[in-house]
Structure 1
C-alpha cells in the first residue's frame, strides 16, 4: 500500500468514509507531511487537514494520526498538544516520542491528565529533573516505577530520596532505583538501611533468637553494605554528604567507623571523627596522624569512642601508612594486613574470615560501656 495519499485514496474515502478508511487517510497524510519537497502552500493544506482530524469522532482516526506524527519534529505545536490532551490511546504515542513539547507542556499534562498520560511522559527518551519531580509528586506507583527504570530520566538526589521514603515497601521500585547508574551514595545508604531493616524485622518475626543477636546481625549487614558503597574514587563531597546523613539519622556508629578503617577507607574514617568531634577535617587529620599518638587518643575521647577501639584503629592507620590504596584488590590486601598485624593481637586464635564477629564484639563492649 502506498504511503502517500493518492486520488484513488480520496475517491475511496468519498465512497466509504468509514473509521478504517479515515484512519488510513490520517496515516498517509501524516507520512506525506515529512516530504521535504512539499511547498509552503501544500504544508498549510495538510496542517488544515490535521486540524480537522484531531476533532474526528473516531478514536481510531486520532490514534492513527498521533502514531504517524509522533516522530515528526515539524508538526504544529497546537496539533501536538491537542493529541496529547486526548484520551490515553491517542495521547500516549505522541507524549512518549515527540520532541515538540516543552517542559511546561509536559508539566501541564502531568498535572491535568490521568496516570496513563503520566506513564507515557515517564517513558520519554529524555526527561528533565523538573518533569521527573512532577512525576514522583503523583505518588503513583506505576508512574514512578516507569520513571526510575528510564535511563534517560534525570532524577535529582532529593527526588530519589523521596522515592525511597514514599515507596519503601514497593520492592520493584526500590530495586529499580538501586540499579540506576551513578546512584548518589546517600541514596544508596538509605536503600541499604531500608533492606537491613526488612531483614531485621523478618528475623524477629520468624526466628526465636535473642535481641542481641538480631541487633548484631542487623548492624553487621547494614554497616558492611554501607562501607561497600565507598569506592576508591568516591570524592570527598560525597563522603561528607554520606557522613552527614548517617550522623543525622544516628547511624554513624563506632562499629561503622571501625569497619571503615579496617577496610582502608581512611577518608571516611577521618571525616567521621571530624563530624563526631565537631571539628574541621583538617584539624581531625592532624590529630589522627600525630606521630606521638596523643592526638588520636584525644580525638577518640572527644568523640566518646571506646579506648579498646583506639588501638585497633591506630594499628590500621599504621598499615594504611605503609601502602597506597588505589583499587579493589588493594583493599582486599589491606584487610588481610589489618587482620595479620592488628586483630590477631587482640583476640587469641582470631579467625581471619571472622572480621565481622570481631567488630560486633567490640561494638557490644562499646554499647555496654
Structure 2
C-alpha cells in the first residue's frame, strides 16, 4: 500500500532503535488515516482506526502528539476517541484540542474538567462554545483564574443560575468583580447585591450608574392601580418586596427625620434601624446593612431616596457616626459619598434601595462570608 504521507516521516534518527522506528512509523501512518476526511474511508474502518489510535497515541513522543493534536483540533468531524485521548494528555498536547476541537461533547468536557489539571480547565474556559453543564463544572472545579478566563470569554452565554453562583462566590474572590460587571447576563438584582462587597468605591459607582434606572413610564402606567394592588397582596412578603421595585419614592416628613437623627445621636441603634426601615419601606436587615456600611455610598443612596437635602444628609452622616462608636468619615470620604448623593436622582436611588432589599432577602439561602 502506498504511503498516505500526511503527517510526514521526517526527524527519525538513523541511530534509533529499529523496532521503535518501525512502531512510530506504523502509528503515524494510522494517525494519517484517522485524520482523513470521513468520505475517504468507510465509517467502520475509521472507527476502528480511531479506537486503536486512542490507545496507542501515548506511545509517541510529545512533539509528535502535539502535531497530531493540532491537526485534530481543526477537524470539524475529527476522530472522537483520539480527540478525547489527546484532550486528557499533558496540557502541551491537549491545549489546541481543548480550545478548538468541535466534536467534544458537553458530557466529555464535564469529565475532562473534573479529572484533569487547572491548566486544562483554563483551556476549556476559552472555548467558543461551552454548554451549561461544562460551565457548571468549571464553576465547581475551577479556581479564580479559570473563572476569570471563562467570564472574559465573550463567545459563551452564562445562565442566570450560574451567574447567581458566580456573583455570590465573588464575595470572597475580588478578582471576579471587574469581569462580572462586564458580563451582559449580569442583571440589576445581582449587580446591586455584588455592590456590597466590590473592592473599590469606583466599582460601586459603576454599579449605580449602570443598574439604576428611572421608572417614569412604569409609574404612569400603574398609578391608578398600584395602591389597590399592594393592598390586595396582603401578607405575601415576597410579593411585597418585588412590588416595592415599582413603587414611587416616598419622601420622609421633616419631624420624622428629626426623630431619626435624635435616635442616632442618642445611640439608640435598634430603634433607629427599625424606624429607618419603616420610613424607607425596607426590611430591618437591609436598613442595618446600610447603617453599618463604612463605605458610605449606601447611606447616600438612602438619603436621596428619602428626599433629604444636602444639609440634611450631612446631619444624617454625623448622627449615624454616633452609632459607629464615634467613627466619622474623613473629609475626602464625605466628598466622595456626597458626590454619589448629588449624582443619583431620587427615583433611581429609590429603585436601588429596594433592589438591595430584594437581593439581600435571598441571603438566608446564600449567606455572606464572615468578615475577616
TM-score, structure 2 as length reference: 0.51
Tell me: CA distance 1:142–1:16, structure 2 relative to 1, closer, same or farther (3 Å).
farther
Q: Which residue of 1 aligns with 2:180?
A: 177
Deviation of 1:85 after TM superposition, in Å, equals 1.5
* 3-state SS, counterpart of residue 59 of structure 2: coil
CA distance in 2, matches of 1:227, 1:11: 61
Q: Which residue of 1 aligns with 2:111?
A: 108
Aligned to 2:279, which of 305, 311, 333? 305
CA distance in 2, matches of 1:356, 1:12: 71
Deviation of 1:47 after TM superposition, in Å, equals 4.5
Q: Which residue of 1 aligns with 2:211?
A: 229
CA distance in 2, matches of 1:286, 1:100: 47
Aligned to 1:147, which of 127, 146, 150? 150
Q: Which residue of 2 aligns with 1:323?
A: none
Does the 8 A contact of 1:27 with 1:64 survive in 2? Answer: no
CA offsets 1:202-235 (integer angstroms, 9 cap, x no match): xxxxxxxxxxxxxxxxxxx969944751457xxx
Tell me: CA distance 1:144–1:17, structure 2 relative to 1, closer, same or farther (3 Å).
farther
| Residue 139 of structure 2 is aligned to residue 136 of structure 1 | yes
Aligned to 1:69, which of 52, 69, 72? 72
Query: 5+ residue gaps in structure 2?
Result: 249-274, 282-306, 313-337, 350-372
Q: Which range is displaced more, 169-178 or 67-76?
A: 169-178
Indicate the RMSD between aligned Cα atoms, in angstroms.
5.5
Tell me: CA distance 1:184–1:128, structure 2 relative to 1, closer, same or farther (3 Å).
farther
CA distance in 1, matches of 2:162, 2:9: 52
Deviation of 1:16 after TM superposition, in Å, equals 7.2
CA offsets 1:279-336 (integer angstroms, 9 cap, x no match): 8679999998xxxxxxxxxxxx9x83279xxxxxxxxxxxxxxxxxxxxxxxxxxxxx
CA distance in 2, matches of 1:63, 1:286: 58
Query: 5+ residue gaps in structure 1?
Result: 201-220, 233-260, 289-300, 308-341, 348-352, 364-369
Does the 8 A contact of 1:83 with 1:94 survive in 2? Answer: yes
CA distance in 2, matches of 1:286, 1:45: 64
TM-score, structure 1 as length reference: 0.51
Q: Which has the higher contact order (CA 8 A, sep 6+)?
A: 2
Q: Which range is displaced more, 117-126 or 150-159?
A: 150-159
Q: Mapping of 1:36-51 within 5 angstroms?
A: 38-40=40-42, 47=50, 50-51=53-54
Deviation of 1:189 after TM superposition, in Å, equals 1.3
CA offsets 1:45-104 (integer angstroms, 9 cap, x no match): 965784575132411111111111102132221111111111111112111111211111
Tell me: CA distance 1:305–1:126, structure 2 relative to 1, closer, same or farther (3 Å).
same
Q: Matched residue pairs, number?
A: 257
